Each structure stands twice: as C-alpha cells, then as structure tokens.
Amino acid sequence: MNSFPSGGTDTSEPARSPHSVPAALPPPRRRMAAALPFTGIALALGAGVAFLFMWFGADPHDAQAAPQPTSDGFPRFLTGADDVRVRIPHPPQRVLPANTAIVDVLLEILPRERFAGLPAESQTYSALAGVYADRAADWGGLPQLATYKTESVLVLRPDLVLCHEWQGADTTSLLRANGVSVLVLSSPNRWDDVLSTIEIAGTALGTEERAQELLLALDERLDRLRQRARTLPVQRALSYSNLGAEGSAAGRGTTADVIFELLSWTNAAAEADLVGHTTVDMETLLVLDPDWIVVGTMTADVGSTPSEEFLRSRRELSQLRAVRENRIITLPQELFTTASQELLSAAELLLERALADR
C-alpha cells in the first residue's frame, strides 16, 4: 500500500514496483472469449478445408496452411497488455512467472512440475511467505530468477514467460527474438483486473478449469467478506508508509485502493483526490485523519514497523484518531505488497481487526 509498493516485484530491479499503472483489460468474460479463437467454428473450418483437399485429389498434408487447432485448443493466440499478439503453440510445460504477483496466481492453477523457476523474491513477497508457507521448502528448490534480464531468463529454458507491463520491455523484446513466448499482463488497479489476469493465465496455460474454480472460490469469499463488512459503519482508512525520509499514502489507482474497495471502505487518500503513491506530510495526515491506518512490516515477522514507530513517536500526530484509539493495523509484507488475488486475504485480515475493535 505505499503501501503495496509491489506484489509483482520487478526482477529487473532489486526492489518493488508501483501499482498505479492503469490496467487496460476488458471484463474477464469478454477477454476470455477473445482469447480463445479456436472454438468449434475453427474446428469446423479445419474439417471443411481437409474435405476440399480430398475432393480435388490433393493431400492436405502437402499444403502450406496454418496448423489446425488440436483437441486441447492449441495453438492459441492471446494479445497482451503491450498489444502484442502472442502465439502459444502447445500447453506450456516450462512456465516462468517473472514477478511475485504472477507467482501467486500460478500457485493456484499450475502444478509445480510445470514451473521453469521462480523469482528470487518469492520466498518473501509471494503467497509462499503466507498462505502457502508450508510449501516454501519444496518450492524453494526450483531454479531462481534473480533479475528480469534476457540471459537470466534464457538459462531457465522457459517455453512461456508471464510478466507485467512495468517490467523491462527490452528484455521482453529480446526474449521474443530468441523464440520465447512472452505474454505481458496488466498490473491491477481494480479487483476485476485481478480476476481477468487469472482467467487469461488459465487460457494461456490450458488450465481453464482450475482458473474457473479459483474464480468461483474468490467470488464466494468476497460475498462473505462484504456480508460481514456491512455489520460495521463505513470505515475511512489510509495506507501509509514512512521508512525514515518522508511518508507517502496510497491514493486512487493503487492496490491499497482495491483492498478498501473490497471492504466498501473509504480510502481517505482517494477521497482527498490523491492519485497513486503520494508524499504526505504530518499536516496532511492530520487533515485526512482516517479511522484506520494500515502499514506493512519490513520483515517476515509481524511487529512494530518504521511507519508505525513514526506515527506513534511524533507528538503532533497524537491527535490522529487512529493513533489515539490504537487503530494502526500492520499487514505482513507479502500482503502489504501484493498485487494478486491475495488482496482479498489482506481485506479479510483488516476486517477481522476492525470487527475485534468494535
């Protein structure tokens, strides 16, 4: 949340990415339909072409026509967030997620044996540090992608790379020039973007059924979350970070904004027309004066953080309601930085704390 500086840690950088980049994905169902060109119509056309070859006495195998789709629907063609149409010739067997947000998605829909490797940050910033911590040792044995650079990727021999649009475009181009399929996904700034990413990933990987199961489970969790959230008055919350130099808040178009939207809470920064991750001073904090302030840990253990210490140590900020009423919530770093379906887990944790406080 400046909260949420990244859930897709940019492997071309040692740190994390902002999540204020607008996503341009259409609604999930429409995207799914557009991504599957080889339906029954395509199969019928393929059969018709074969019939014509046979009728005129030619061997269809001698024709230099485009390959017909197989029973599993491959090859498939998908257009990524960079507007590049990507051909995926067969169900990928060596998939490389290029950041931790995509790792979270693939952990749910792709078996371990189909991973070519994991970003080095996965043990810290993905669900392997949280809900799937029990898998961390086993998954930690996969090859590590240190940086999103051409050489680092090629050595892992992936047949499909999934990355976000903020990751190195030059690397993406060079990988494609080396024959690697790279599908660029949009970073989410709405919950629908997260759902769309899951559906597109399922299409690319040939794991549509598992993707749909995940989407259904998320819908059910979100329904339960909102039913419980309605038992509280609408809360005003602020996602805040301060690592010592200056503080920042997560406004509109950030993953923190998505979390508050899931809860039907008001994002105090967005309410003040702040967009993205914006520097805020103590005077601005006092003006915003949210019911809750959400901060993140710097280590795997949830405890006091530089952000929380700053808020509690400044006499001027003792007037803040969240400070005065002990309403500072600390999220573990894998949730504070997530840009995946784990945003829902973060929302569930915030609601538990709010319900316990009433």
So where are the chain's domains? Answer: 233-357
Q: Report the chain's terminal Cα–Cα distance, integer Å.
A: 24
Is the per-residue pLDDT at 158 higher than 90?
yes
Is the per-residue pLDDT at 2 higher than 50?
no
Is the per-residue pLDDT at 13 higher than 50?
no
In this prediction the pTM is 0.81
Is the per-residue pLDDT at 169 higher than 50?
yes
Is the per-residue pLDDT at 311 higher than 70?
yes
Give the pLDDT mean for 347-358.
96
Residue 245 confidence class, pLDDT cut points 50, 70, 90: confident
pLDDT at 304: 61
Instruction: Say if domain 233-357 classifies as CATH 2.30.30.170.
Output: no
pLDDT at 312: 95
Closest CA to 175 of 195, 201, 148, 202: 148
User: Quick one: 315 exposed, middle or buried, by C-beta within 10 A (0-12, 13-18, 19+)?
Assistant: exposed
Give per-residue pLDDT as tens, 230-240.
999 999 999 99
Give the pLDDT mean for 161-178.
98
Is the per-residue pLDDT at 303 higher than 90?
no
pLDDT > 90 in the chain, percent:
74
Written as six digits, the tokens of 247 are 């503080």
124 Cβ contact list (under 8 Å, min separation 6): 300, 333, 334
Is the per-residue pLDDT at 279 higher than 70?
yes
Residue 5 confidence class, pLDDT cut points 50, 70, 90: very low
Give per-residue pLDDT as tens, 21-80.
333 333 434 344 334 443 343 434 344 434 333 333 334 333 334 445 565 799 999 999
∠ CA 161-125-328 to the nearest 5 degrees? Answer: 145
Written as six digits, the tokens of 72 are 């599993």
Written as six digits, the tokens of 69 are 């789709």
- CA distances for 184 relative to 35, 146, 187, 200, 353, angstroms: 14, 19, 10, 11, 36
User: Quick one: 104 exposed, middle or buried, by C-beta within 10 A (0-12, 13-18, 19+)?
Assistant: buried
pLDDT at 278: 97
Mean pLDDT of the chain: 84
| Beta-strand runs (E) in 108-213 | 118-119, 144-145, 160-164, 181-185
Closest CA to 19 of 331, 236, 247, 239: 239
pLDDT at 299: 56
